[in-house]
């Protein structure tokens, strides 16, 4: 069968499977098996079992369930609520203070929990009623929560980076460190944007002057609740930075720390623990099965020669380094409108990685840029996981209201990508200072 026809069947069947609602992991794997069979016959399928086994029994991937468990325990034990109240005390005095509190608590919290969806949901359920009561503009409220929740993918520990690092064989510790400054900077850009909007348009300011919730006099103790979660984050990242622990070990220690933290708050019981573990099972299986499905597809692409043909075709276009990069950005923005970040990485990189290397991009730097583009995919319609989450808890506002509120943050993320192109050191400096 000709290669063109195989590529056509591949794209057609994958699009059909995804459109009719096939589970993404199974769509990738099934199309992979089909392409393997069409190009190499039954012999091609012999490779399947090794692909499946090697992608599940990997030491690096152990970090995934451990980071997930850490986040689940923190989320389900209600520690998040305390943390948000603490941030409100610290930032509540600013004009539009609760919007800033949303960005900051989402940034820190999604970093710890590793899930932007869960973070948006958790902070959102506490923040939205509070902010509606104070007459905050709904659009800005939803935007700050949806966009704030994405920051944790960039600020380590980040599961997306673990998966990217495992695929391109770069140091996950270095990727984590490279994400810190861009993550903090993007948070700063979000807060700056909110401040400027409120300054330019006084009608957006909440009518009631923001005050810290809770009893007067309890503010100081409320503010102290910021520290346990921050301490956990610093311990995990610090351990990786000084080389005391591998990312996998730091993840396990972080999960143990989360259990201790939940116990100290008196919120650890069998129900919280069991639900956290079973939820970890579900998310881990979902993530790893997407990887397995995508790796079957990518094996098929390699065996059939489609990968090489596509690479050669792109090279024959004679693009410059940065026009190639611009095409990549557009590709990921479009893909991000429809599919999740992990599928996006594992579907595209096996084909694109040789090209990215050929054009001379630093793989750590590219990982950070890719992570920002994945964040962006979480708040672009029609399929944006954070948009769905915030819409679900918005209390009856329309989906388009959430989309419009999040749109400015898409632009801000693209600005961050441009900044990283001009000043790659923002990402690449910190990893160079690591020991070992």
| Binding residues for other proteins restricted to 130-169, rule: CB under 8 A | none
Q: Both ends of the chain: CA-CA distance in Å? A: 51
Tell me whether residue 235 or residue 302 sits nearer to other proteins (CB atom). 235
61 in contact with other proteins (CB under 8 A): yes
358 in contact with other proteins (CB under 8 A): no
Tell me whether residue 48 or residue 189 sits nearer to other proteins (CB atom). 48
Phi, psi of 323 (to 5 degrees): -75, -35
Site for other proteins in 90-119 (CB under 8 A): 115, 117-118
Spatial contact of 145 and 102, defined as CB atoms under 8 Å apart? yes
Both tokens of 69, joined, read 């468990």
Smallest distance, Å, CB 313 to other proteins? Answer: 27
Smallest distance, Å, CB 132 to other proteins? Answer: 17
Site for other proteins in 374-433 (CB under 8 A): 382-383, 389, 392-393
Q: Which of 90, 104, 288, 329 binds other proteins (CB under 8 A)?
A: 288
In order of 53, 127, 161, 380, the CA distances from 403 in angstroms are: 40, 18, 26, 7
46 in contact with other proteins (CB under 8 A): yes
Tell me whether residue 275 or residue 362 sits nearer to other proteins (CB atom). 275
Site for other proteins in 314-353 (CB under 8 A): 338-340
Element (H, E) at 289: helix 270-304
Q: Which of 3, 7, 18, 38 binds other proteins (CB under 8 A)?
A: 18
Give a three-class secondary structure readout of 224-284: HCHHHHHHHHHHHHHHHHCCCCCHHHHHHHHHHHHHHHHHHCCCCCHHHHHHHHHHHHHHH
235 in contact with other proteins (CB under 8 A): no
In order of 64, 105, 281, 330, the CA distances from 268 in angstroms are: 22, 22, 19, 45
The Cα–Cα gap between 410 and 421 comes to 17
Tell me whether residue 182 or residue 239 sits nearer to other proteins (CB atom). 239
Residues near other proteins (CB under 8 A), total: 78
Smallest distance, Å, CB 118 to other proteins? Answer: 4
The Cα–Cα gap between 270 and 261 comes to 15
The stretch near other proteins (CB under 8 A) out of 48-56, 136-144, 200-208, 328-336 is 48-56
């Amino acid at each position: 069968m000709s290669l063109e026809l195989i590529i056509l069947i591949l794209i057609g069947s994958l699009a059909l499977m995804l459109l009719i609602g096939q589970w993404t992991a199974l769509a990738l794997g099934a199309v992979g098996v089909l392409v393997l069979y069409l190009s190499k016959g039954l012999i091609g399928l012999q490779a399947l079992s090794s692909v499946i086994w090697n992608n599940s029994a990997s030491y690096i991937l152990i970090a995934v369930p451990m980071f997930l468990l850490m986040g689940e325990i923190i989320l389900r034990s209600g520690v998040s609520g305390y943390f948000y109240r603490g941030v409100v005390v610290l930032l509540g005095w600013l004009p539009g203070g609760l919007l800033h509190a949303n960005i900051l608590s989402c940034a820190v919290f999604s970093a710890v929990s590793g899930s932007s969806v869960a973070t948006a949901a958790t902070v959102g359920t506490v923040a939205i009623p509070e902010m509606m009561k104070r007459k905050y503009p709904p659009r800005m409220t939803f935007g700050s929560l949806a966009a704030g929740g994405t920051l944790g993918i960039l600020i380590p520990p980040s599961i997306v980076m673990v998966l990217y690092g495992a695929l391109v064989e770069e140091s996950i510790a270095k990727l984590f460190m490279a994400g810190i400054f861009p993550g903090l900077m993007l948070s700063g850009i979000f807060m700056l944007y909110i401040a400027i909007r409120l300054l330019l348009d006084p009608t957006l300011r909440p009518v009631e002057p923001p005050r810290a919730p809770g009893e007067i006099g309890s503010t100081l103790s409320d503010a102290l609740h910021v520290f346990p979660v921050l301490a956990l984050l610093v311990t995990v990242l610090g351990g990786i930075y000084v080389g005391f622990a591998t990312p996998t070990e730091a993840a396990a220690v972080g999960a143990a720390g989360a259990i201790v933290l939940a116990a100290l708050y008196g919120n650890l019981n069998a129900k919280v623990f069991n639900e956290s573990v079973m939820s970890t099972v579900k998310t881990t299986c979902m993530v790893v099965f997407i990887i397995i499905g995508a790796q079957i597809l990518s094996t098929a692409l390699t065996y059939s020669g489609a990968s090489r043909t596509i690479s050669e075709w792109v090279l024959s276009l004679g693009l410059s380094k940065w026009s190639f990069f611009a095409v990549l950005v557009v590709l990921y923005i479009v893909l991000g409108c429809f599919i999740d970040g992990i599928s996006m990485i594992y579907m595209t990189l096996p084909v694109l990685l040789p090209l990215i290397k050929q054009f001379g991009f630093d793989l750590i730097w590219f990982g950070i840029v890719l992570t920002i583009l994945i964040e962006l995919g979480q708040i672009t319609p029609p399929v944006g996981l954070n948009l769905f989450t915030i819409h679900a808890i918005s209390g009856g506002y329309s989906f388009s209201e959430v989309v419009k509120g999040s749109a400015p943050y898409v632009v801000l993320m693209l600005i961050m990508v441009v900044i990283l192109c001009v000043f790659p050191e923002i990402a690449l400096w910190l990893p160079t200072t690591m020991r070992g």
